[in-house]
Amino acid sequence: MTAWISEFVPALFRQWAFVLAVSPILPGVVAKTKAWVAGRQGPPVIQPYRDIVKLFQKGAAYSRTTTWIFRAGPVISFSAAMAAVLMIPIGGMEAPLTFQGDLILFAYVWGTSRFFTMTAALDTGSAFEGMGASREAVFSCLAEPALFLGLLTLAREAGSLSMSDLLSVGLIRIWSIHAPALCLVTTAFIVVFLTENSRIPIDDPNTHLELTMIHEVMVLDHSGPDLALIEYASAVKFFALGALLVRIVYPIRSGGFWAGGAVLGIGLLGLSILVGVIESTMARLRLARIPQFLAFAFVLAGFGVILTLAAA
């Protein structure tokens, strides 16, 4: 028992340290890429760290309409993000938390985070935030089936229900036999990734227009440390879902935590650049067209499932 604890606890904190240290740089890289494509200097890549630190140092303003729910929202979304990353294998080894079925918990933890973010948004009694919550509700609910079907494809290929097995070395072999299915899943996951992280073409994180945003408008009234938690949580979410994508596309062979972590980090930087390029070359979808886009992702993931099922 004590041996298990002495192994488990350091792994836990190592994972958190890595994620907390790496994740804020990713939005910074996206912003830098966008600036670079647009021919601008752009903010330094470490700007998100500065923002978070600055926000933690600030005071906060609360609306008189709000209740404890408004204050609980950021805490829950940050905790959920921190819990979810424990299921992601960083290096070539297993994640600190792994069991058969952890992929379901992984997907649902984000659901908890979303639920409380939405209720916190509605707590302000503002039409803007209601609008954001309504959009978040519908789009995330449509992205969910695509995510699950994608995970199912991977699970079927890996023969396991654990994220650590799904994203293991075995993927290399699977790529060599079932490349089409994996490509379909990757495409679907990119869509889910963009949706969940409120990126163009689903959402435009940079616009200041309350009427068109999704995620940003939900957190309009949060300030100070609460906003810092939200920003940090969304960076961690970017990391977690991004790591899922990177691990699929580039299965990490072996290596310890830090060597594998470095490879993963490089992959995530690449993903951030890719997101920056996507944001620089695509217009945002009209809101009414987003379900269509997500249905497309769902169909791709479903096709992936069919291919793996038919291959048996």
Q: Closer CB to another protein, residue 22 or residue 279?
A: 279
Give 154 or 263: the residue with its C-beta nearer to another protein: 154
Q: Is the dihedral of CA 265, 90, 300, 175 positive or negative?
A: positive
Closer Cβ to another protein, 55 or 263, answer by number: 55
Is the separation of the CB atoms in 220 and 66 below 8 Å? no
Closest distance of CB 208 from another protein, Å: 4
Cβ of residue 176: shortest distance to another protein, in angstroms?
A: 8
- Single-letter amino acid, residue 238: F
Q: Nearer to another protein by C-beta: 111 or 256?
A: 111
Angstrom distance (rounded) from CA 110 to CA 102: 13
Read off the tokens for 252: 């990490």
Query: Would you state the structure tokens that stand for residue 147, as one six-digit string?
Result: 């995510």
How many Å separate Cα 247 from the centre of its chain? 13
- Nearer Cβ to another protein (8/258): 8
| 3-class SS of residue 82 | helix
Neighbours of 68 (CB within 10 A): 9
Nearest approach, Cβ of 245 to another protein (angstroms)? Answer: 19
- CA-to-CA dists, residue 80 to 87, 116, 150, 181, 194, angstroms: 12, 10, 22, 30, 19
